[in-house]
Every structure is written in C-alpha cells, then in structure tokens.
Amino acid sequence: MSYLFINLKLCIQILNLINNNMSGNKTLSIIKPGAVRNKHIGHILSKIEENGYTIAAIKTIQLRLEDAAEFYSVHQGKPFYQELIEFMSSGPIIAMVLLKDNAVEDFRKLIGATDPEKAAEGTIRRMFATSKTANAIHGSDSDENAERESSFFFSRQEWLRRTQVGLD
C-alpha cells in the first residue's frame, strides 16, 4: 500500500512540474472597452507592472456578444448581466495572464471595488473607471476562475511559464 502511495505522490509531483503548478500565482485581467477607448492602456499596464506582476500573455481582441455571454455566464440571470455583456462586446479589450505570488488576492486589492466611487484611492478602478459597468478592468476572483478564465482567452502555448520569465 505504501508503495502505491509513494508512486501516486511521485506522479502528482511530476504533473505539478509539467503544469508548472500555477495555482495561486496567476490571474486573468481584462482592460475593458471603456478604458481602451479612453486610452488608459499604458497607464494601467504600468500600474500592473509597478505592482510586481509579470505579463505572461497579452492580446487585443473584440468579443462577440456570444463570447461575452459565455465568459460571464456565471452572472446570467442577474440584473446587470445584459448590460455587462453588451458593454464587453462594444469595443476592443486587452486580455492578459499575469503572474505573481498571491496573484488573485493582490490583484483584487490593486484594482479596487467594482463601484469606482467605493474603490480606494490609488486603485485602478478609482483612477480609470467611469461607472460600475465601465469599471476599467476585470480581475479573476479565485484561483479556480483564474485557470478557467485564462484558458478562455489563451492556449497554454500562448503564455510564458514562471520559469520562462525568471520567477522560479
């Protein structure tokens, strides 16, 4: 029995090495259409990098309404859902995979509250958002969602691993 456990443990360690064990060290961010339209991309990217994040993948795309509906399906049925997906498909977005220890939690602090009026001074939403819907930036709210959201926009081949950007 212990032989089986040791082999199982070894297999898990190997799989973690193969997958680079990114849990807790990755988040997905989206610079939303309003911030792109208002030419805040450079300022937001600077703020992200100044706070210790490494951009492992980045692309500019325009979501179709169907894409936005799929991405935000967790909010389907909520009062803001239709407005959100219409806004997110209204213009180009910048999708990014960001790497840093404690990525999700730290990024949520960096971007601030969803409502820019309630966001702390110095947060991205306080600085660049124009409303609760046009709140400038999206950030994953959990490690699990970071994985799901990252794979929505990027294949594993499209983003650099921690070892490739010198974090391990």
Catalytic residue list contains 40 = no
**pLDDT value of residue 159:** 72
At 104, list the tokens.
């999700």
Domains in the chain, CATH or no CATH each = 24-165 (3.30.70.141)
Q: What is the pTM of this model?
A: 0.82
Q: Which of 40, 43, 75, 138 is catalytic?
A: 138
Q: Residue-wise pLDDT tens for the chain (168 aa)? A: 444 445 554 444 444 433 444 458 999 999 999 999 999 999 999 999 999 999 999 999 999 999 999 999 999 999 999 999 999 999 999 999 999 999 999 999 999 999 999 999 999 999 999 999 999 999 999 999 999 999 999 987 887 665 455 555
pLDDT at 12: 45
| Crossing angle of the two packed helices 143-153 and 103-111, in degrees rounded to 10 | 80
Tokens 């294949």 belong to 155
Rg (CA), the chain: 17
Q: How far apart are CA 165 and CA 167, in angstroms?
A: 6
Is residue 74 a contact partner of residue 47, using CB atoms and an 8 Å limit?
Answer: no
Q: What is the DSSP letter of 134?
A: S
For residue 95, give the H/E element and its range: strand 93-99
